[in-house]
Amino acid sequence: MDYKFFNIFIAMANHKSSKKRIRQTETRNEGNKYYAKTMRNALKDIRSTTSKKEAAELLPKMNSMLDRLAKKNIIHSKKASNLKSSVDKHVNNLK
């Protein structure tokens, strides 16, 4: 099945407002993907760190990033707090 045709068929808009809504959704999806990927990379960096000093420097930046993403509804607020908690545990267990 030709997926390109399938996507156009699903997103076929009949009204001006629905066409605009499709454009807005595509733009927001691109931005959200970027922020989510950036968050995952930052989490990977802090979790792969073995130095407590280095991790302690990265921790406030990580926490503020998670709070910002939760505020913008890119991730759920409870997911942000769960991630912050697990990263805090990791940093506290480092030597």
Residue 28: both structure tokens together: 């927001």
Asked whether residue 73 is assigned to any structural domain, the reply reads yes
**Do the beta carbons of residue 31 and residue 15 sit within 8 Å?**
no
What is the per-residue pLDDT across 47-82, written as a single tens digit (0 to 9) for each? 999 999 999 999 999 999 999 999 999 999 999 999
**Domain range enclosing 92:** 51-95
pLDDT of 14: 86
pLDDT of 10: 62
**Do the beta carbons of residue 23 and residue 16 sit within 8 Å?**
no
pLDDT of 13: 79
Asked whether residue 87 is assigned to any structural domain, the reply reads yes
Asked whether residue 38 is assigned to any structural domain, the reply reads no
Q: Total domain count for the chain?
A: 1
What is the per-residue pLDDT across 2-37, written as a single tens digit (0 to 9) for each? 555 555 556 677 899 998 998 999 999 999 999 999
pTM, full prediction: 0.75
